[in-house]
């Protein structure tokens, strides 16, 4: 039976633990010659521009012995009215799996319902689970554990924050989210996570309170791709939520700083912090490659 990866909760905590171990092995060169995708092709259907997601998947698929096939929806028959379900059924006859980057999570769900191959969420408006896997790997590399850590997410409660909430519930670390009123993460995701979590997931208004004694501070852009309407007003409301040296002073001395990139230096994070000794942001970006290779190994049979 095929297994999709539309959100982090498609995996169990055991699955994630094993996947992170495998990703660390891949990063250090264990089984570097393994080619589990040999002779197979993985589709990449992207509605949105991408740097890290596209390149890391293309490189990872190639390193696993497969062929990545990049597809723009406007260049397929989708652009002439063919349904998502029909497209999913046809592509399932050619491919061993597909990565989809889309504006609407409903698009992913519709495609997955019509596909007989694994469907991977490369980003939607609701979730960014591949990013969450890389976040978990990066935290584990730097802190040697996940359970009972305190992670502070500062800024807009967006798709990255939603997936981080599910990660906290699954891997039992505490998550403080600091955001202005009206910028909270998805209520349904938050409620479901709290119902199953053995750790604390808290919404706060004061970023200094969230950062207090944090092991990890995480931020993302204030205006996500495709949400540029009223951008100036949004930036004004988030202006007190910048990750800067004053905020880092509230955290633990060995705090680790994350950002999923791209970053707008001087807005949600200062260049001083991004390039400073607490930042592992570029390691975090590299880890997209390793966790996605481990994910492909897990899903593609």
Considering the candidates 105, 260, 278, 290, report the single residue annotated as catalytic: 260
**Residue 41 in contact with residue 66, Cβ under 8 Å?**
yes
Dihedral through CA 73, CA 76, CA 78, CA 84, nearest 10?
-80
Considering the candidates 22, 54, 96, 101, report the single residue annotated as catalytic: 101
User: Per-residue DSSP letters for 5-25?
Assistant: BSSGGGS-HHHHHHHHHHHHH
Q: Residue 65: which of 221, 293, 239, 274 has the closest Cα? A: 293
Considering the candidates 127, 130, 131, 156, report the single residue annotated as catalytic: 131
Distance set, CA 123 to CA 163, 176, 276 (Å): 10, 23, 28
220 has catalytic annotation: yes
Considering the candidates 52, 96, 128, 290, report the single residue annotated as catalytic: 128
Helix 13-28, helix 281-299: angle, nearest 10: 110
Determine the Cα angle at 63 with ends 60 and 68, to 5°.
60
Considering the candidates 54, 105, 288, 290, report the single residue annotated as catalytic: 288
Distance CA 283, CA 141 (A): 10
96 has catalytic annotation: no
288 has catalytic annotation: yes
128 has catalytic annotation: yes
Distance CA 17, CA 145 (A): 11
Classify residue 52 by its DSSP letter. H
Considering the candidates 125, 156, 215, 220, report the single residue annotated as catalytic: 220
Tokens of 257: 């700083």
260 has catalytic annotation: yes
The phi, psi pair for 5, rounded to 5°, reads -135, 75
Catalytic residue numbers, as ranges = 101, 128, 131, 220, 260, 288
């Amino acid at each position: 039976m095929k297994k999709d990866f539309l959100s982090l909760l498609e995996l169990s905590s055991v699955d994630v633990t094993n996947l992170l171990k495998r990703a660390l092995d891949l990063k250090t060169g264990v089984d570097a010659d393994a080619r589990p995708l040999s002779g197979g092709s993985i589709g990449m259907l992207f509605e949105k521009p991408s740097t890290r997601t596209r390149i890391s998947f293309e490189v990872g698929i190639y390193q696993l012995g497969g062929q990545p096939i990049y597809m723009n929806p406007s260049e397929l028959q989708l652009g002439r009215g063919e349904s998502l379900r029909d497209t999913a059924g046809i592509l399932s006859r050619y491919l061993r799996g597909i990565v989809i980057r889309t504006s609407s999570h409903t698009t992913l769900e519709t495609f997955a319902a019509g596909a007989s191959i694994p469907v991977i969420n490369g980003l939607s408006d609701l979730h960014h689970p591949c990013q969450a896997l890389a976040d978990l790997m990066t935290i584990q590399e730097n802190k040697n554990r996940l359970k009972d850590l305190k992670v502070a997410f500062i800024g807009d409660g967006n798709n990255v924050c939603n997936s981080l909430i599910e990660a906290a519930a699954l891997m039992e670390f505490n998550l403080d989210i600091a955001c202005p009123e009206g910028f909270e993460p998805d209520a349904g995701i938050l409620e479901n996570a709290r119902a199953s979590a053995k750790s604390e997931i808290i919404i706060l208004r004061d970023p200094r309170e969230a950062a207090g004694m944090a092991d990890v501070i995480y931020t993302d852009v204030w205006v996500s791709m495709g949400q540029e309407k009223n951008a100036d007003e949004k930036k004004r409301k988030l202006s007190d939520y910048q990750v800067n040296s004053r905020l880092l002073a509230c955290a633990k001395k060995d705090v680790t700083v994350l950002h999923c990139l791209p970053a707008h230096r001087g807005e949600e994070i200062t260049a001083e912090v991004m390039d400073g000794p607490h930042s592992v942001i570029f390691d975090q970006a590299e880890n997209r490659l390793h966790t996605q290779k481990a994910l492909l190994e897990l899903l593609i049979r």
